[in-house]
A and B are shown apart, each in its own frame.
Chain A
Amino acid sequence: MNEPGGAWHRVHPLSPLIRSWQAIALVIFFIGRDAGESLLTGDRDDGPWLRLPGRDVGVGVWLTGGGLVVVALVVVVALMVLSWRMTRYRITADSLELRSGVVWRQHRRAQLDRLQAVDVVQPLLARIFGLARLTVEVAGAGTSAIQLSYLTESRARSLRNQLLASSAGLTYTEEEAPEAPEHHWLEVPVPRLMGSIALSGATAGFLVSAVVLVILSLVLGTAAPAAGIVPWALGSVGALWGRFSRGFGFRVATSPDGLRLRHGLVEARAQTVPPGRVQAVQLTQPLLWRRTDWWQVQVNVAGYGAGGGGDASSGNSPNTLLPVGTRDEAIGVLSFVIPQLGTGPEENPRLVIEAALDGTGGGSGFVTSPAAARRLDPLSWRRNGFRVTDTALLIRRGRLRRTVIVVPHARTQSLGIVQGPWDRRLGLASFALHSTPGPITPMVAHLADGDAARLLAEQSERAQRARAAAGPERWMQIARRADAPSQLPPPLPPVDAS
């Protein structure tokens, strides 16, 4: 342990137990059920799993059986202790290192200036014991995150502050890194969350098909089609419950460290997305949310990938910044993630965003598909379009399901143009902007080919200029260097009623 850069720490001793709680619960359940059964029936000898056909089981078998169980228990406990002992982490000035594994050992080291997001996750059992898992996302393909599971809650929080502080390039004199001041911003009310789920496409699809099946079974005079609803209903309820549970108590706060999200009913999750880590933002409004004017906000963040197993489109993934919010809330979240929209000096940025949210045609500087696209895109050709500002590319699409995507120029990875045979005949082409993996794929379909070519040429120049001007990865250094206050940007002015 005489290596430079700080001491190695161990995770909480209860960690292996919580990590493998499902297996343990299963074993306890079976043993308990057997014991309970034999108690109830007064059948004091061997349990059903030890009875051999047509033969009495003697004491010897009992002893060997019991001995095996004890040996197995000892081995399991020894493995757990060993795995706990072998899991160690440390923080140096610029990296986080994790060593783990008993047989296959792993030593992972992450550069803190490449840190993309820090999450504190508490599954139900960990919550009961006051423990939490710290997930540190760095940009990388696949499972590149470092997971410290489990730590005590206070340790997880102080560690998060320390990581964010070193990642931000912040220097502090205290023993522990100070927690960045948090500014509570908004909370999603439970009734609205339930309403948004009730008005989701999944619910509507289920109800419609249920009605069809019931009618079908009435017409046919057999219950078979109606009975088909049951397993499906169970599945749907499970999916909807997942959405509810994840979105429950969704709170958004802002801090100099970026957006802080807290949510979850069963599994509590506290996410921190530092500024400048957001690669693309998307605001969506499904058709059924239009009356209530609700919007969902999602982001591409390099470490989160396509959503960590969750269904990205239903708001279950860590990529969700706001599962359901009013128009003002959604625009507010957008304005925090992308502080400068870069509209012209004469323009009201709010009006530009309003035009992106529900406008059609060429207002507010939007370039849309030409009339020739009507044959390929009869519904939304007037709405499909883009707008370029000094800092970002705004993409607008979808007539029924309205979608707005904002990609900062500095976050452009690569660009592309695609032209199929029909496009060519009609003088169209589609423009694509490649972002890091995530729920958002920024693309403008069926532009006039001249517009697409111009956009590609100009966008590659803009992206290059923005890259050259981009600040350092350590965001507090930007703030200090530019003497910019690291506070919430002024909210966008409200739109006039006129």
Chain B
Amino acid sequence: MADPFHVPGADWRPVSPKLATARRIVLAIWCAALVVPPLVSSLVFDLPRMRWVALIPLVLLGWGWWLIGRQVRAWAYAERSEDLVIRSGRIWRTMVVVPYGRLQYVDVDEGPIARMFGLASVQLHTASAGTDAAIPGLEAAEAARLRDRLTERGQAQLAGL
């Protein structure tokens, strides 16, 4: 079987592993918020079974913890001479090829938790709404470099619609 995600001439760069830590913190906050209500109600109203309900978010936390690690390792991008290739996902694997000449604009976003880790995400926009090309978890310096590089190449190769 051929690997459809093999791209000739691609020099894959991974996203920062710190992204996994950042995402796990967000996940842990959510799970903590879900654990508290059943736990408190079991203590206050003396419902011992509610403690088992409190286990559900913990199981989710463990599963999500593992999943995030896999997802972040699967995320990679490659700058080729004419286009940028992004691949992501482990279970649902996707790959997007965005020609520089088709770039309309590039977004760089920094969330509060990502910023604590010095991370930023880069989103590419073409004239198509179907282009779902995002690279989360880049080091801020790398994100800025990529943004400038993309706009520079986009300028040089810009074509009409």
> Are A and B genuine complex partners?
yes
Interchain CB contact under 8 A, A435 and B93: no
Residue of B nearest to A423 (CB): B93
Question: Complex Cα distance A472/B128, Å?
Answer: 21
Chain A residues whose C-beta falls within 8 Å of the C-beta of B5 in the assembled complex: 417, 419, 453
Other-chain residue from A302, A414, A416, A450 in contact with B94 (beta carbon distance below 8 A): A416
Whole-angstrom distance from the CB of B91 to the nearest CB of chain A? Answer: 5
Contact flags A394-421 to B (C-beta < 8 A → 1, else 0) = 0000000000000000011111111111
B160: chain A residues within 8 A (beta carbon): 114, 470, 472-473
Given the interface pairs A413-B126, A453-B6, the reply to whether A421 lies near B161 with Cβ below 8 Å is no
Q: How large is the interface on B (under 10, 10 to 19, 20 to 34, 35 or more residues)?
A: 20 to 34
B92 near A414 with CB under 8 A, answer: no
Dominant SS at the A interface?
mixed
Residue A437, interface by CB 8 Å? yes
Q: Which residues of B are found within 8 Å of A308, using beta-carbon distances?
A: none
Picked from A417, A435, A450, A460, the residue with its CB within 8 Å of the CB of B128 is A435
Q: Within 8 Å of chain A (Cβ to Cβ): is B116?
A: no
B98 within 8 A of A: yes
- Return B115 CB to nearest CB of chain A, in Å: 27
Please report the number of residue pairs spanning A and B whose Cβ atoms sit closer than 8 angstroms: 106
Q: Which residue of B lies closest to A443 (CB)?
A: B130
Is A456 positioned at the interface, with any CB of B under 8 Å from its CB?
yes
Residues of B within 8 A of A (CB): 1-8, 82-83, 91-99, 101-102, 126-133, 157, 159-161
Which of A41-49, A75-83, A426-434 is found at the contact surface with chain B?
A: A426-434
DSSP majority for the B interface?
loop
Q: Whole-angstrom distance from the CB of B94 to the nearest CB of chain A?
A: 5
Complex contacts, A420 vs chain B, CB 8 Å: 91-92
How far, in Å, is A354 (CB) from chain B's closest CB? Answer: 29
Q: Name the residue of chain B whose CB is nearest to the CB of A461.
A: B82
Pairwise interchain contact B161-A419, C-beta atoms closer than 8 A: no
Q: Report Cα–Cα, A185/B101, bound state, in Å.
A: 37
Chain A 453-478 interface 0/1 with B at a Cβ cutoff of 8 Å (1 = within): 10011001001100110101100000
Q: Which of B101, B127, B133 contacts A467 (CB 8 A)?
A: B101
Task: Give complex CA distance A413, B160 in Å.
Answer: 11
Q: How many of chain A's residues touch chain B, expressed as a range?
A: 35 or more
Query: How far apart are the CA atoms of A414 and B157 in the complex, in Å?
Result: 14
Beyond the given pairs A427-B1, A437-B129, A467-B159, 18 more chain A to chain B contacts, judged by CB atoms under 8 angstroms and listed by A's residue number, are A116-B161, A139-B161, A302-B127, A411-B161, A413-B128, A414-B99, A414-B128, A415-B96, A416-B130, A419-B93, A424-B93, A429-B4, A434-B126, A453-B2, A453-B4, A456-B95, A460-B82, A463-B99
Q: Which of B3, B82, B95, B127 contacts A413, CB < 8 Å? A: B127
* A window 324-348: CB within 8 A of B: none
Nearest neighbor of B132 in chain A, beta-carbon distance? A416
B131 to chain A, nearest CB (A): 4
Give Cα distance in the complex from A264 to B83, angstroms. 44
Q: Is A436 an interface residue (CB 8 A)?
A: yes
Residues A414 and B91 in contact in the complex (CB < 8 Å), given A456-B4, A470-B160, A473-B160: no
State the CA gap A481–B12 with chains docked (Å): 43
Question: For the complex, is A279 an interface residue (Cβ under 8 Å from B)?
Answer: yes
Q: Are A460 and B131 in contact (CB under 8 A)?
A: no
Q: Which of A424, A437, A460, A467 contacts B97 (CB 8 A)?
A: A460
Closest to B100 in A: A464
